[in-house]
């Protein structure tokens, strides 16, 4: 039968070719306007006789040539979608309206999931890292992110090209502080991740704050019925950690929902050794060598809920929520400080114990409505609400001793300090958003939208000094404050995407009006900001040869200080070391230029330049009068960066996939600090290599081995020494491929601790930081229900929320 059909197609094609003068072309997308590659496009006569057929390309387009004038029937089909049929009368060249395939989950039967290697695809403005069913999918989302090209995670801080990215899940921005994003990703399993997009040049539809975006796209359930997965893992670092959870999916007719729950119980260790040289005028007066041993206990409940309801073929309603409950967030800090003169002769010392108890609650809710017009245009409406509560109490006690470690009779040798601080913060975020996408033709699409957001936060810091012996209250030490913050942002954007011949273009313009009012009641100070800014973005690509691509990107973005670092929220590491906020911070504006080329689809070369005004970093500023060091965020007047990148990926064998990223770059910081103009610059290198290998005949054993090297580099006047991260993960399918056991080893060579130096004028301090990131992790998961392969999944993309950034 196949041979007969092939012969019929051949003769029909030859006959048509002899008389044909016309062609038809078109594009195939899903209901979310995402292109469908490799769809079957068949042309038949009116009596269902097969004429010819093609498959759609990666961008969803197709062309059928050599057709004679006649009446035809067009049929388009793709696994998991309802077939599309259309009658055509061809009498001239035709470009068909965009064809939209609608999902048809009933056509899918149970398919056994097979393991595969991750894949990497370099697009004009992003890297797309597909890890679905690979060995990386059995760890946490954070561990998968650590192995993503271009993403660097050091001390729970995520960065892309030396900047803090905005993190999205399925196109929705995560409204958490930097540390809480890390907690969320670490307590979430990666076995539901389809791919990770590292977008270095986000289009105008993203907030202007999105200088770089990490979009984590989860798989979509195409199977009708119920399925789920249990998962658990045990991690042994300095201390043990346990995570367990359950993912549940259900789909029937118009309803599709999933609920994910995980619980993490962990204890972490962090060790700092700090040397501070305090000055008296131009000479060093005292040298403080301080050891800080910090233990952190945390219990986290993470709940994610998503529901999609198809009202009809053109309308869909969605509800999603993230709940992050952290009822236990406790710290114990043991501090031992040895004070000497410049010649290392002992002067005195002291020991401190800081007991900190805290808890956090984060609840966010999104309601989305999607309408698809008959001309393939889409209209999306989003409403978002976030409520965030953070409470922490601290008790700080210190004992001072003489050079012989004797608690003597005179100051500073007979001295004790004791005080309590109570910190609380409540933040509410409201957002309304509208996005409209209009395909003009097969080659051109226009999108536009608007957004309004309102953020209100109140922070209360109360410090009470105590008598160390009686605990009686004595006058406060001046660190109490009540801070109110109110922010409103109204924005709109227009973006155009088009292609012609060998060229493609994407350009947009975003306008944002920001009004900020920060009020410190205790200090009776008020900081206001009111500004209107334009943020253009542009991507231009040309393919002069079949295997050669040239592109240029430009992006202007803004980074606004987060709510937490704007308020005077104090955390004491000891009597003389304080972490606090800065309500006078200004937003940072960045212009980012990229020029690059891709050869054979596997080798990418880029040159880039970034210029930032008023970038902000947390710096260790010394008070040489009172011998206090305060870690506080400050604006750096100008930061410039120039760099050269190389990216490659290929299959060494059919079982071994490799990617490599290398970068050479220079960072230059210029600013006025402590009454002095300071300029520093430094060249550095970055390299990452990842190997994914499949073993055994049935390919049920997968392994990933990766290394990341970061050379000596400059970040906000702080010079960081070289580090090397090394990670190994192994995944084995068992129990008829429904179960999975995994093993992960992090920081194999124990070279991920880092050292920083902050030295100029009368600022001279150094830190050696050892974080609890060397561990062994054992994991197990078991899938049940209808375990269907999601190879053809099309992921719904909603938009953003707002921000609760660095803590």
469, 513 Cβ separation under 8 angstroms: no
Asked whether the bond before 412 is cis by omega within 30 degrees of 0, the reply is yes
d(CA 4, CA 458): 76
Q: d(Cα 525, Cα 518) in Å, to the nearest integer?
A: 8
Q: Where is average pLDDT lowest: 206-210, 384-388, 390-394?
A: 206-210
Lowest mean pLDDT among 164-173, 412-421, 729-738, 757-766: 412-421
DSSP state of 137: G
What sign has the CA pseudo-torsion 461, 462, 467, 470?
negative
Q: How high is the pLDDT of residue 415?
A: 58
Do residues 350 and 396 both lie within one domain?
yes
Integer-rounded Cα Rg, in Å, for the chain is 29
Question: pLDDT per residue over 313-360, tens digit each?
Answer: 889 999 989 898 999 999 998 989 999 999 999 988 888 888 999 999
Instruction: Name the domain boundary from 102, 137, 172.
Output: 102
> Is 802 among the domain residues?
no
The span from the first CA to the last CA of the chain, in angstroms, equals: 67
Provide the pLDDT for residue 137: 61
In a domain, 618, yes or no: no
In a domain, 803, yes or no: no
Q: Per-residue pLDDT for 136 more than 70?
A: no
CA count, 13 A, side-chain hemisphere, 475? 1
Is 635 domain-assigned? no
Whether 375 and 456 map to the same domain: the answer is yes
CATH number for the domain that contains residue 605: 2.40.170.20
Query: 330 and 394 in contact (C-beta within 8 Å)?
Result: no
- Residue 611 CB contacts under 8 Å (≥ 6 apart), including other chains: 590, 591, 638, 639, 640, 641
Shared-domain flag, residues 123 and 96: no
- HEC string of 523-538 equals CCEEEEEEEEEEEEEE
Least confident of 51-65, 101-115, 283-297, 762-776: 101-115
Rounded distance between C-alpha atoms, residue 783 and residue 137, angstroms: 13
Residue found by looking up tokens 């051949």 in the block: 10
Residue with the larger pLDDT of the pair 155 and 549: 549
Higher-pLDDT residue of 360, 6 = 360
pLDDT of residue 748 exceeding 90:
yes
Predicted confidence at residue 636, as pLDDT, reads: 93
In this structure, the number of other CB atoms found within 10 A of the CB of residue 2 comes to: 6
Please enumerate in sequence order all residues whose Cβ is within 8 A of that of 276, keeping only pairs 6 or more positions apart, or say none. Answer: 287, 288, 290, 622, 629, 764, 765
Residue pair 318/796 in contact (Cβ under 8 Å)? The answer is: yes
Q: How far, in Å, CA of 55 to CA of 78, rounded?
A: 10
The half-sphere exposure of 133 on its side-chain side, counting CA atoms within 13 A, is 19
CATH code where residue 50 lies: 2.60.40.10
Whether residue 799 has pLDDT greater than 60: no
What are the backbone dihedrals phi and psi of residue 480, each rounded to the nearest 5 degrees, phi first? -85, 150
Sign of the dihedral defined by the CA atoms of residues 337, 340, 345, 350, in that order: negative
> Residues 514, 384: one domain?
yes
- Evaluate whether residue 705 is within a structural domain: yes
Q: What is the mean pLDDT of residues 129-150?
A: 68
What's CA 756's distance to the chain center, in Å? 25
Number of domains composing the chain: 2
With a cut of 70, say whether residue 650 has pLDDT above it: yes
356 CA to centre of own chain? 29
Q: Which of 132, 147, 153, 232 is nearest to 189 (CA)?
A: 232
Q: What angle do CA 391, 394, 397 make, to 5 degrees?
A: 180
- Rounded Cα distance between 489 and 531, Å, is 10
pLDDT band at 719 (very low <50, low <70, confident <90, very high): very high
Phi-psi region of 60 (alpha: psi -120 to 50; beta: other; left: phi over 0): left
Q: How many helices (H) and strands (E) does the chain have?
A: 4, 45
The answer to whether the CB of 42 falls within 8 A of the CB of 75 is yes
Q: What was the pLDDT predicted at 109?
A: 41
Q: Pinpoint the alpha helices (H) of 89-238.
A: 141-146, 178-186
Closest Cα partner for 332 from 362, 300, 298?
298
**Residue 582 pLDDT greater than 80, yes or no:** yes
426 vs 799, higher pLDDT: 426
Please indicate, yes or no, whether residues 426 and 501 belong to a single structural domain of this protein.
yes
Question: Do 385 and 427 belong together in one domain?
Answer: yes
**Residues in Cβ contact with 3 at an 8 Å cutoff, skipping those fewer than 6 apart:** none
Q: Look at residue 622 and tell me if it is in a domain.
A: no
Q: Are 128 and 195 in contact (CB under 8 A)?
A: yes
Instruction: Give bridge partners of residue 616 from the DSSP assignment.
Output: 635
Interacting residues of 791 by C-beta distance below 8 A, sequence separation 6+: none
The residue-averaged pLDDT of 61-69 equals 84
Two tokens, residue 204: 């105008």
What span, in angstroms and rounded, lies between the C-alpha atoms of 356 and 477? 19
Q: Do 441 and 566 reside in the same domain of the chain?
A: yes
The tokens describing 500, both together, are 């012609």
Q: Would you call 99 helix, strand, or coil by DSSP? A: strand
Q: What is the pLDDT of residue 731?
A: 87
Residues 540, 545, 549, CA angle at the centre, nearest 5°? 35
**Whether 459 contacts 569, CB under 8 Å:** yes
Helix (H), strand (E), coil (C) string for 302-369: EEEEEEEEEEECCEEEEEEEEEEEEEEEEEEEEEEEEEECCCCCEEEEEEEEEEEEEEEEEEEEEEEE
pLDDT tens for each residue of 165-191: 888 877 777 766 666 677 677 667 676
Containing 564, the helix (H) or strand (E) segment is helix 563-566
Are residues 278 and 285 in contact, defined by beta-carbon separation less than 8 angstroms?
yes
Burial of 48 (0-12, 13-18, 19+ CB in 10 A): exposed
- What is the mean pLDDT of the segment spanning 15-43? 74
CB 231, CB 781: distance < 8 Å: yes
Higher confidence at residue 263 or residue 91?
A: 263
Q: Does 81 share its domain with 135?
A: no
Q: What is the pLDDT of residues 79-100, one digit of tens each?
A: 667 888 888 888 788 888 889 8
Average pLDDT over residues 189-203: 77
Closest CA to 743 of 778, 770, 716: 778
Find the farthest-apart pair of alpha carbons in the chain and give their distance in angstroms, rounded.
111
Is 807 domain-assigned? Answer: no
Average of pLDDT values for 238-253?
87
| Residues 88 and 151 grouped into a single domain | no
Could you tell me if 8 and 136 lie in one domain?
no
DSSP 3-state assignment of 44? strand
The Cα–Cα gap between 621 and 586 comes to: 18
Beta bridge partners of 434: 381, 450
What is the per-residue pLDDT for 81? 76
- Residues in Cβ contact with 154 at an 8 Å cutoff, skipping those fewer than 6 apart: 710, 723, 752, 754
Domain that holds residue 76: 2-102
List the 40-44 sheet strands across, edge first.
50-55, 40-44, 70-77, 84-90
Q: Which of 75-84, 122-131, 292-301 has the highest mean pLDDT?
A: 292-301
Residue 718 is predicted with a pLDDT of 92
Q: Are residues 320 and 375 located together in one domain of the fold?
A: yes
For residue range 783-794, list pLDDT tens digits in order.
887 654 333 333
Task: Label residue 142 by pLDDT band (50, 70, 90).
Answer: confident
Mark whether 89 and 123 lie in a shared domain: no
Alpha-carbon distance values, 769 to 142, 179, 710 (Å): 21, 17, 16
Query: Within its chain, how far is the Cα of 702 from the centroid?
Result: 25
Whether 682 maps to a domain, the answer reads: no
pLDDT confidence of 410, banded at 50, 70, 90?
very low
pTM of the model: 0.75
**Checking DSSP bridges between strand 503-520 and strand 378-401, what pairing results, if any?**
unpaired
Per DSSP, which regions of 373-479 are E strands?
A: 378-401, 415-439, 445-466, 473-474
Helix (H) or strand (E) holding 616: strand 603-623
For residue 122, the cross-strand partners are 127
């Amino acid at each position: 039968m196949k041979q007969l059909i092939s012969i019929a197609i051949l003769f029909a094609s030859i006959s048509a070719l002899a008389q044909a003068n016309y062609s038809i072309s078109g594009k195939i997308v899903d209901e979310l306007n995402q292109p469908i590659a490799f769809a079957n496009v068949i042309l038949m006569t009116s009596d269902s006789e097969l004429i010819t057929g093609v498959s759609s390309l990666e961008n969803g387009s197709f062309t059928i040539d050599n057709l004679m004038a006649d009446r035809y029937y067009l049929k388009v089909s793709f696994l998991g979608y309802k077939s599309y049929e259309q009658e055509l009368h061809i009498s001239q060249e035709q470009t068909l309206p965009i064809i939209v395939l609608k999902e048809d989950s009933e056509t899918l039967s149970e398919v056994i999931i097979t393991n595969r290697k991750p894949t990497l695809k370099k697009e004009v403005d992003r890297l797309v890292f597909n890890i679905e069913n690979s060995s990386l999918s059995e760890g946490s989302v954070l561990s998968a992110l650590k192995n993503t090209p271009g993403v660097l995670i050091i001390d729970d801080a995520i960065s892309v090209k030396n900047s803090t990215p905005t993190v999205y899940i399925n196109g929705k921005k995560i409204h958490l502080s930097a540390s809480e994003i890390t907690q969320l990703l670490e307590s979430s399993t990666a076995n539901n991740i389809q791919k990770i997009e590292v977008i270095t040049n986000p289009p105008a539809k993203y907030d202007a704050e999105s200088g770089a975006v990490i979009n984590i796209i989860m798989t979509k359930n195409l199977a009708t019925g119920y399925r789920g997965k249990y998962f658990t893992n045990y991690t042994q670092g300095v201390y043990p950690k346990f995570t367990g959870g359950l993912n549940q999916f259900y789909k029937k007719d118009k309803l599709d929902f999933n609920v994910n729950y995980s619980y993490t119980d962990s204890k972490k260790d962090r060790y700092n050794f700090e040397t501070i040289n305090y000055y008296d005028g131009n000479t060093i007066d005292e040298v403080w060598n301080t050891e800080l041993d910090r233990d952190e206990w945390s219990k986290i409940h993470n709940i994610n809920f998503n529901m999609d309801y198809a009202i009809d073929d053109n309308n869909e309603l969605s509800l999603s929520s993230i709940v992050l409950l952290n009822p236990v967030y406790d710290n114990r800090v043991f501090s031992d400080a040895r004070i000497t003169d410049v010649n290392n002769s002992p002067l005195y010392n002291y020991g401190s114990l800081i007991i900190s108890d805290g808890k956090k609650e984060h609840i966010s809710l999104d309601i989305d409505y999607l309408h698809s017009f008959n001309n393939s245009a889409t209209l999306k409406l989003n409403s978002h609400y976030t409520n965030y509560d953070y409470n922490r109490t601290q008790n700080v006690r210190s004992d001072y001793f003489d050079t012989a470690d004797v608690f003597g009779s005179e100051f500073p040798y007979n001295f004790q300090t004791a005080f309590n601080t109570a910190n609380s913060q409540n933040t509410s975020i409201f957002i309304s958003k509208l996005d409209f996408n209009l395909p003009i033709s097969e080659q051109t699409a226009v999108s536009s939208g608007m957004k309004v957001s309102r953020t209100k936060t109140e922070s209360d810091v109360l410090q009470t000094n105590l008598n160390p012996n009686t605990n009686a209250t004595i006058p406060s030490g001046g660190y109490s404050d009540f801070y109110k913050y109110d922010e409103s942002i109204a924005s709109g954007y227009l973006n155009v995407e088009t292609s012609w011949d060998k060229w493609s273009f994407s350009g947009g313009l975003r306008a944002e009006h920001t009004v900020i009012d920060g009020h410190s009641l205790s200090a009776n100070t008020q900081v206001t900001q009111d500004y209107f800014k334009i943020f253009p973005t542009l991507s231009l690509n040309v393919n002069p040869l079949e295997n050669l691509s040239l592109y240029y990107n430009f992006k202007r973005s803004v980074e606004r200080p987060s709510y937490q670092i704007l308020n005077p929220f104090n955390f004491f590491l000891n009597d003389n070391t304080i972490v606090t906020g800065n309500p006078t911070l200004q937003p940072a504006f960045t212009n980012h230029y990229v020029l690059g080329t891709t050869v054979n689809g596997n080798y990418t070369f880029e040159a880039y330049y970034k210029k930032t005004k008023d970038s902000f970093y947390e710096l260790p500023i010394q008070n040489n009068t009172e011998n206090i060091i305060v870690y506080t965020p400050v604006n750096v007047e100008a930061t410039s960066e120039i760099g050269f990148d190389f990216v490659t990926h290929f299959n060494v064998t059919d079982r071994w996939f490799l990617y490599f990223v290398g970068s050479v770059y220079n960072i230059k910081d210029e600013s006025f600090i402590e009454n002095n103009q300071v300029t520093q610059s430094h060249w550095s290198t970055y390299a990452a290599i990842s190997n994914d290998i499949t073993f055994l005949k049935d390919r049920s054993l997968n392994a990933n081995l990766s290394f990341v090297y970061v050379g000596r580099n400059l970040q906000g006047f702080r010079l960081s020494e070289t580090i090397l991260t090394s990670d190994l993960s192994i995944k084995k399918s068992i129990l008829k491929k429904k179960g999975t056991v995994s093993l992960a080893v992090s920081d194999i060579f124990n070279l991920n601790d880092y050292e920083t130096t902050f030295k100029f004028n009368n600022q001279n301090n150094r830190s050696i930081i050892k974080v609890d990131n060397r561990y062994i992790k054992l994991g197990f998961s078991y899938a049940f229900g209808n375990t269907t392969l999601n190879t053809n999944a099309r992921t719904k993309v909603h938009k953003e929320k707002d921000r609760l950034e660095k803590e």
